[in-house]
Amino acid sequence: MSAPAAAPTPAPTLRPATRADLPAVLALLADEDRVVDPATVLVTEAYERAFHAIDTDPRNELLVLADADGAVVGCLQATYIPGLGKGGAERALLEAVRIRADRRGSGLGRVLMALAIDRARSRGCALVQLTSNKQRGAAHRFYAGLGFTRSHDGFKLAL
């Protein structure tokens, strides 16, 4: 007689971030190469203002990927941009995409991106775009593996 099958691990969930998630999100953004303890992150007034601005803007979402235990293991910011291109359809811009360093390689990045793309599609977006720092070679290979193509060079001007 074989052993009973193990119960399937519940799938991670993508949800809008709450104020309580802010330290975990900032920890993900603080250092992508190591796990930062959210308890050590200082949530400044500037971060509070930025979170409030994102949270109250219907064209912006700070999304977190939570594992079965509710721990934040990934995040991204989605901004929905109206435009006259693509027949007047919205486009989704994904930024600050992160998976916790100790959870990379487990498929969570694919889950995060698939759920974010589905969310954009359900909003009627005709395009999902993102930018990534030129030094993030592994991230570029990851995005290409998801079907993203390099199409533009980006420029920034610090103010």
pLDDT at 8 over 80: no
Secondary element (H or E) of residue 108: helix 108-123
Find all residues with CB under 8 Å of 53, minimum gap 6, and list them: 60
**pLDDT tens for each residue of 101-153:** 999 999 999 999 999 999 999 999 999 999 888 888 899 999 999 999 999 88
- Res 152: pLDDT: 87
Amino acid at 91: R
- Res 2: pLDDT: 62
Question: Who wins on pLDDT, 133 or 64?
Answer: 64
Rounded to two decimals, the pTM is 0.89
Mean residue pLDDT across the chain? 93
Neighbours of 62 (CB within 10 A): 19
- Res 3: pLDDT: 61
pLDDT at 6 over 70: no
Task: Report how far apart, in Å, the C-alpha atoms of 90 and of each of 34, 56, 85 are.
Answer: 35, 19, 9
The pLDDT of 7-21, averaged and rounded, is 88
Model confidence at 76, pLDDT cuts 50, 70, 90, reads very high
- Res 82: pLDDT: 96
Task: Report how far apart, in Å, the C-alpha atoms of 155 and of each of 16, 29, 129, 132, 133 are.
Answer: 29, 21, 15, 12, 11
Amino acid at 16: P
pLDDT at 156 over 80: yes
Residue 119 CB-density burial (10 A; 0-12 exposed, 13-18 middle, 19+ buried):
middle
- Of 8-17, 50-59, 93-102, give the lowest mean pLDDT range: 8-17
